[in-house]
Amino acid sequence: MKISDFNISQNGDDIQANALVQFEDCDRGKKQIFIKTKKKYADDFTANPHAFLVGCLLPAIHLKEKRIFLDEKICPLLKESLNIAMAIIKEWTKGQYQPLKIEAEIKPDIKPLQHNRTGMFMSGGMDSLAALRLNRLNYPASHPGFVKDSFFLHGFDIGGVVERGMKYHVFERAKEAIYKITNDAKIELIPVYTNIRHLCDERALWLDSFFGAVLASIAHTFSNRLNMIFIGSSYDIPNLHPCGSHPLLDPEYSSYDMRIRHRDYELSRIEKIKIVSRWDVAFQNFRVCLANVPDRLNCGKCEKCVRTMTELTALGLLHKTKAFDEDEITAEHISQFDITIRVRPPFYRPMVPLLKEQGRNDLAFAIEKQIGKAL
């Protein structure tokens, strides 16, 4: 794979970082990839080669490319770190994903950091909301780790799968809900659009290896604005497993001028929900749905919505949020999904005793029935 023609373009109110990707060992040909944001951030936004190197790494490995060649210089710390990331992924895949060679000149020096500013990724879900809430509770406003910017991404779950459509209207509706939260927290919400996922949109690749790298790639385009970014954890310590975003993997996408931190993985999902429930603006406007339906923030029907409504029921909280139209969950909602696949049991298992305490033995039994069969 060759990555070249790094450039910035502008169109109306948007500014876009571009690069040309040319596959060498498969028949995918050439593709322009981009990361786009609003022109108001132009002074802080660059076509950073680090962004495109990190973003292209996993598709290149998956498609059996032998190398990545860049005609730009890169940070030696990032090159070292990516070699570690590739070794981790090789181990996770039992050798299916073989490390490739990164061919790029090394930057002989680097300018001193001009800023101490921290950002985070904001999906509107429980992981990112808990991370923001804890940041506000634990960091003084004068501390450089006090988050000042949050990034909401199109091309991730919304607009990430070409066959499902770009769903810009869904993105705009979700953004408006998240604005209510970020405004309350006095944090800048920066919309970002990218097509990096479209390099190879195979679901297993995305979930198991790829999505954290796309987050990191976005961060690198803002290295003139930030020097650290937080990624909220997907799983807690007892349930860590190979995943696209992981405390072993995410930090290895860092360079000298962009530190990436995977945070809060000491907390369970239930603990995060409790944290968010005590922040009313967030609790009324969270977004967990992956169905991205046109008329509702959370569809109330997909597995992610049903799982979250069950968690809220286990905590006696479902009726206290307006984020779902529904305030009741049934055993039939749970039984329609296979909750034993894709490392879902760690989310469901802790609900069982809590549901029984709430007198919802029907829901607890529906969970136990499926998980018991899988043992």
Beta bridge partners of 259: 228
Domain with CATH 3.40.50 in the chain: 118-263
Residues 70-102: tens digit of each pLDDT: 999 999 999 999 999 999 999 999 999 999 999
Beta bridge partners of 154: 193
Handedness of CA 301, 288, 198, 241 (dihedral sign): negative
8 Å CB contact between 167 and 158? yes
DSSP codes of every residue in 309-339: HHHHHHTT-GGG-SSSS-----HHHHHTS-T
8 Å CB contact between 221 and 47? yes
Task: Show Cβ contacts of residue 214 under 8 Å, excluding neighbours closer than 6 positions.
Answer: 55, 153, 155, 156, 194, 196, 197
The token duo for 231 is 């990624």
- Return the DSSP state at 38: E
Q: Which pLDDT does position 375 carry in this prediction?
A: 45
- Return the DSSP state at 198: G
Handedness of CA 346, 248, 271, 278 (dihedral sign): negative
Q: How far is it, in rounded angstroms, from Cα 339 to Cα 73? A: 46
Task: Show Cβ contacts of residue 127 under 8 Å, excluding neighbours closer than 6 positions.
Answer: 232, 233, 234, 264, 272
8 Å CB contact between 150 and 120? yes
Residues 161-183: tens digit of each pLDDT: 888 889 999 999 999 999 999 99
Q: How far is it, in rounded angstroms, from Cα 37 to Cα 278? A: 32
Q: Which pLDDT does position 103 carry in this prediction?
A: 98
Residue in the structure block whose two tokens are 């894709």: 342
**With a cut of 50, which residues of the chain have pLDDT below it?**
375
Q: Which pLDDT does position 162 carry in this prediction?
A: 87
Q: How far is it, in rounded angstroms, from Cα 325 to Cα 309? A: 11
Task: For domain 118-263, give its CATH number from 1.20.1440, 3.40.50, 1.25.40, 3.40.630.
Answer: 3.40.50
Task: Show Cβ contacts of residue 78 under 8 Å, excluding neighbours closer than 6 positions.
Answer: 50, 53, 54, 253, 254, 255, 256
Q: Cα Rg for the chain, rounded, in angstroms?
A: 21
Q: H or E stretch including 181?
A: helix 168-185
Where does residue 119 fall: left (phi above 0), alpha (psi -120 to 50 degrees), or beta otherwise? beta
Q: Which pLDDT does position 297 carry in this prediction?
A: 93
Beta bridge partners of 37: 15
